Structure 1
Amino acid sequence: MNTAAMPGRKPGNPCFSSGPCAKRPGWTVDALADAALGRSHRSKLGKAKLGEVLDRTRTLLGVPADYRIGIVPASDTGAVEMAMWSLLGARPASMLAWESFGEGWVTDVIKQLKLDARIVKAPYGELPDLTTVDWDTDVVFTWNGTTSGVRVPNGDVIPANREGLTICDATSAAFAQALPWDKLDVVTFSWQKALGGEAAHGVLILSPRAVERLETYTPAWPLPKLFRMTKGGKLNEGIFKGETINTPSMLAVEDCLDALKWAESLPETLADRSDRNLAALTAWADRTPWVDFLAKDPAVRSNTSVCFRIVDPAVANAPEAEQAAFAKALAAKLEKEGVALDIGSYRDAPPGLRIWAGGTVETADLEALTEWLDWAFATTDKPVAQAAE
C-alpha cells in the first residue's frame, strides 16, 4: 500500500450525506426548545407553526401567491405519489428518467397505475434530449437527479402554452436551484435535503392548472385517504393552510422553522452557497487526475448531490465489482477517520462517490474534505490488474 501524510485539518462537520443532509451550521438541539410538544397539531399553536412553515417557504422560494403549498405524509416520495395517483390518467403521460428515483416513478406509473405512458430515458450522468418531449402530455420528471448528480439547467424547453401538466420532483433542487414556477404545475420536495431538516414530511406545491385538474377529473382507480386532496369535487383547502392529512411531528416542524429562519438571516441565498460549494469541488476535480464528474456536461451538473466517478486506469479498467469495492473502501477509510460520513454512491448508481454540497454545508469543510479524498485514494489498495489470457 502507498503511504501519504494525513492532511493537517479536518472538516468541521463530516456530514456529507445526500439525505438526510447536514444540519445548518451551528445547529444544536436547543433550536427545538419552542416545539409544540404534547400539543395537538390542530390546536391554535400547532396550526400557527404549520402555517408559518408554509408562509416562510413561499417567501424563500418565491412561490406565486396563487399556488397552493401543503405539508403531506411520507417525505418527497409521498408528495410525488399523491400527485401521480391524483392527477395522471386524464390525458397521455410522459415519464422522464435519468436516475433511480425517476426510474421508480416510471415503475409506479407503468406497473401500478398501468398507464400506457411514453418513457424517455438517459443513462446516469446524462440528460435526455428534452426537446423531444411532448409537453402536451402530462410530464413527470426529477429536476435534480439525487443519485446521478444531473439537473435540468433551466425551464426554457418547457412551453408556456403546454396542454399537459408538469409534475416535478424537486427534492434536491428546492432552495438550491432556481425553479421556473410558470413552467411547473406540481413541485415536490422534503425538508431533509437542502434545509437539512428531519425526514418523513413532504411538501406539495400546486399551480392553478393542477388545482383545476383535481377539481375536474376523477381517476379510474381508488385513492387511499392519504392521497385524497378534494372533497365533493372541490380542493380541500385545509391541507394547504397547515391542516395536514395525518399527524405531523411538531419536533420536525420546529426544526424546519429553525432552518427557514436561518436561511432568511443569511446575506446570500442557499443557492449561492450551493453554487460556491460546487465551484470548490470543481476546482479540486479539475486538478485531480484520478477523479471526474459523473455528469460530463458542466451545464447539467448538480450543485447539491455532486457525483464523482474514479477514472484512474487502475480502478476504471477493473471489473465493476472491483470498482465498487474500491470506492466503498475509500469511503469507509474516511468514515473511520471521522472525516466524511455517507459519501458512497447510491446503490443503483455507477461506482463512485456522492458528496452533498447544499447550502447547509460550509465551503471550507468541502475544501478540507478534498485533501482527505486525495489521501484516501493514495493510501487505499487499487485493484490488481488481470493478466491477459
Structure 2
Amino acid sequence: MDKPNVRPDRPFFSSGPCAKRPGWSLSALDNALLGRSHRAPEGRARLKDVIDRSGKILGVPDDWRIGIVPASDTGAVEMILWSLAGQRGIDVLSFESFTATWAQDLRDVLALPDVRVFEAPYGQLPDLEQVDWSRDVVFAWNGTTSGVRLPSADVIPAEHDGLAICDATSAAFAMDLPWDRLDVVTWSWQKALGGEAAHGMLAISPRAAKRLEQGAPRPLPKIFRLANKKGLIEGIFAGDTINTPSMLCVEDALDSLRWAENIGGLPALKARAENNLSVIKGWIDQSEWLSFLAEKPEERSCTSICLKITAPWFTALSQDLQTKAVKHLTALVASEGAGYDLASYRDAPLGLRIWGGATVESADIAALLPWLDWAYEETREAFAA
C-alpha cells in the first residue's frame, strides 16, 4: 500500500490530556491572572466563572453545587468515595480500569462491609438489572479505557433511595447526562474540552449535599474535606478552592468554555463528537483488520473510541508479539507526524484508541485513517508468519 500524502492538520488524538480547541494558541492565555493570589477578588471571580460557565453548558440544575477540586477527576471521585461511602450498602459497576479502581478502593482499601461489584470484560457493560438503586451506586457514564458508555438515562430509575455517583470525565461536554437521575457527577479539565491537567470538577445534588452535611463516616485529610462541624464548606462551590490552582490552567479552561459557548453549547459539542464517531464507523465498516471493542452499537463511546485488531494473523501471535506489533504500528504513524497517542490504555485489550471529543476535527480523523491502514500493512509484513 502506498504511503498516504495527506496528514491531519492537528494529529493529536490522546484521551487525556486531549486536543486543544480548534484555533488554540498560547495567546489564549495572554490575560491569565499571573502573580496574583487565587484568593484575591479577581482570582476568585475567575474560578467562579469556570464554575458558572461549566454548569450552564452542561445543564446542571440551579439547586446543585459545583466546585473545583484537586487532582483531576480521580481526586473528585476519591473525595466523594471517602466522604460518603459506607453510610449504606454500595454497588459498583466495574467494566474498565478506572471503575475497577473505584471498586478496589471501596472493597479492599476502605474495606467496607457491604460492597457489591458487578463486573464485565472490556467491551461490555455489567448486567444492569442486578443493580439495586436503593443502595449507593458508583459508575462511569463512559468507560474512558473501554469505549463503552451507558446506553440511556433509563438505566437509572427516576426515583431511587441511594445516591447515583457518576464518574463522567470522558462523557461531560460530549454526551447528555440525566441530571434529574444523578446525585454526584465528576469530570476534569483535561478531557472533553482539552484543558490542562490537575484540576477536577465536582457537582452534587441537594440529596448528596444533605448526606455530606451529616459528616463523613471516617476521618479525612484536609484536601478531601467538603464539610466541617458547621456543615458543607460552601466556599468550595463559590471559587474558594481547597488548594492552590494554576491560574494559567484557569484561563485555559475559560478559553475552552467560551469556545464551547460560541459554537452552540452542548448540542454543538455533542454533534461534533458523534460526527467523529460516524467517520470512524464508516471506516470500520469497510475494515478487514479492526472492529469496535464495544460490542453493542448503542453502547459505543463517541469520545474514547476503542478498537481491537481482529486480523487472524495478529490474533495468532503470542501476547508479547502482539504488544510489539501494536507498538510498531503506532510508532510508524507517529514517526510520520500523522497521529500521536493512539495505543489502547495499558490495562485494556491491545488495540487502538482514538479520542473523538468535540475539540477534534472530523477532517483530521478522516486524514488519520489511511495512515492507520498503511501502518497496518507495514506491520503485517513485519510480523505475520
TM-score > 0.5, shorter chain as reference: yes
2:98 is the counterpart of 1:76: no
| Structure 1 portions without partners, runs of 5+ | none
| Corresponding position of 1:118 | 116
| Corresponding position of 1:201 | 199
> Are the counterparts in 2 of residues 320 and 351 from structure 1 also a CA contact under 8 Å?
no
| Separation (CA, whole Å) in 1 of partners of 2:216 and 2:29 | 41
RMSD value, Cα: 1.0
| Corresponding position of 2:102 | 105
| Separation (CA, whole Å) in 2 of partners of 1:31 and 1:113 | 42
Q: Helix, strand or coil: the match of 1:104?
A: helix
Give the letter for the 2:24 counterpart.
Answer: W
1:86-134: per-residue Cα shift (whole Å, max 9, x none)?
A: 0111100111100000011111111211113001000000001111101
Q: TM-score, normalised by structure 2?
A: 0.97
Once the two structures are TM-superposed, the CA of residue 136 in structure 1 deviates from its matched residue by 0.7
| Structure 2 portions without partners, runs of 5+ | none
Give matches, 1:8-27, under 5 Å.
8-27=5-24
| Separation (CA, whole Å) in 1 of partners of 2:366 and 2:127 | 34
Give the letter for the 1:164 counterpart.
Answer: G
> Which of 187, 190, 207 is residue 192 of structure 1 equivalent to?
190
2:243 is the counterpart of 1:246: yes
Give the letter for the 1:52 counterpart.
Answer: D
| Separation (CA, whole Å) in 2 of partners of 1:143 and 1:261 | 25
Give matches, 1:355-374, under 5 Å.
355-374=354-373
Give the letter for the 1:373 counterpart.
Answer: L
Once the two structures are TM-superposed, the CA of residue 319 in structure 1 deviates from its matched residue by 2.2
| Corresponding position of 2:147 | 149
Q: Helix, strand or coil: the match of 1:70?
A: strand
> Which of 170, 173, 191 is residue 171 of structure 2 equivalent to?
173
| Corresponding position of 2:268 | 269
| Corresponding position of 1:183 | 181
> Are the counterparts in 1 of residues 215 and 228 from structure 2 also a CA contact under 8 Å?
no
| Separation (CA, whole Å) in 1 of partners of 2:352 and 2:5 | 22
1:22-60: per-residue Cα shift (whole Å, max 9, x none)?
A: 000110000000100111001111011001111100110
Give matches, 1:314-325, under 5 Å.
314-325=313-324
Q: Helix, strand or coil: the match of 1:156?
A: helix
Once the two structures are TM-superposed, the CA of residue 263 in structure 1 deviates from its matched residue by 0.6
1:149-187: per-residue Cα shift (whole Å, max 9, x none)?
A: 001111202112211101111000000010000111000
| Corresponding position of 1:33 | 30
Matched residues, number: 381
Once the two structures are TM-superposed, the CA of residue 264 in structure 1 deviates from its matched residue by 0.6
> Are the counterparts in 2 of residues 274 and 358 from structure 1 also a CA contact under 8 Å?
yes
| Separation (CA, whole Å) in 2 of partners of 1:176 and 1:197 | 14
> Are the counterparts in 2 of residues 190 and 201 from structure 1 also a CA contact under 8 Å?
yes
| Corresponding position of 1:343 | 342
| Separation (CA, whole Å) in 1 of partners of 2:180 and 2:26 | 38
Once the two structures are TM-superposed, the CA of residue 320 in structure 1 deviates from its matched residue by 2.5
Once the two structures are TM-superposed, the CA of residue 232 in structure 1 deviates from its matched residue by 1.7
1:189-220: per-residue Cα shift (whole Å, max 9, x none)?
A: 0010001000000000000010010112431x
Q: Helix, strand or coil: the match of 1:145?
A: coil
Give the letter for the 1:187 counterpart.
Answer: V
> Are the counterparts in 2 of residues 314 and 382 from structure 1 also a CA contact under 8 Å?
no
Once the two structures are TM-superposed, the CA of residue 324 in structure 1 deviates from its matched residue by 2.0
> Are the counterparts in 1 of residues 159 and 181 from structure 2 also a CA contact under 8 Å?
no
| Corresponding position of 2:305 | 306
| Separation (CA, whole Å) in 2 of partners of 1:229 and 1:161 | 26
Give the letter for the 1:19 counterpart.
Answer: G
> Are the counterparts in 2 of residues 90 and 217 from structure 1 also a CA contact under 8 Å?
no
| Separation (CA, whole Å) in 2 of partners of 1:171 and 1:208 | 21
> Are the counterparts in 1 of residues 93 and 99 from structure 2 also a CA contact under 8 Å?
yes
Q: Helix, strand or coil: the match of 1:144?
A: coil
| Separation (CA, whole Å) in 2 of partners of 1:167 and 1:362 | 31
Give the letter for the 2:375 counterpart.
Answer: A
| Corresponding position of 1:159 | 157
| Separation (CA, whole Å) in 2 of partners of 1:223 and 1:123 | 33
Once the two structures are TM-superposed, the CA of residue 233 in structure 1 deviates from its matched residue by 4.2
Once the two structures are TM-superposed, the CA of residue 66 in structure 1 deviates from its matched residue by 0.3
| Separation (CA, whole Å) in 2 of partners of 1:238 and 1:277 | 39
Give the letter for the 1:302 counterpart.
Answer: S
| Separation (CA, whole Å) in 2 of partners of 1:119 and 1:356 | 28
Give the letter for the 1:349 counterpart.
Answer: A
Q: Helix, strand or coil: the match of 2:365?
A: helix
| Corresponding position of 1:383 | 383
| Separation (CA, whole Å) in 2 of partners of 1:300 and 1:320 | 27
| Separation (CA, whole Å) in 1 of partners of 2:194 and 2:369 | 22
Once the two structures are TM-superposed, the CA of residue 382 in structure 1 deviates from its matched residue by 5.0
Does 149-158 or 169-178 show the bigger shift?
A: 149-158
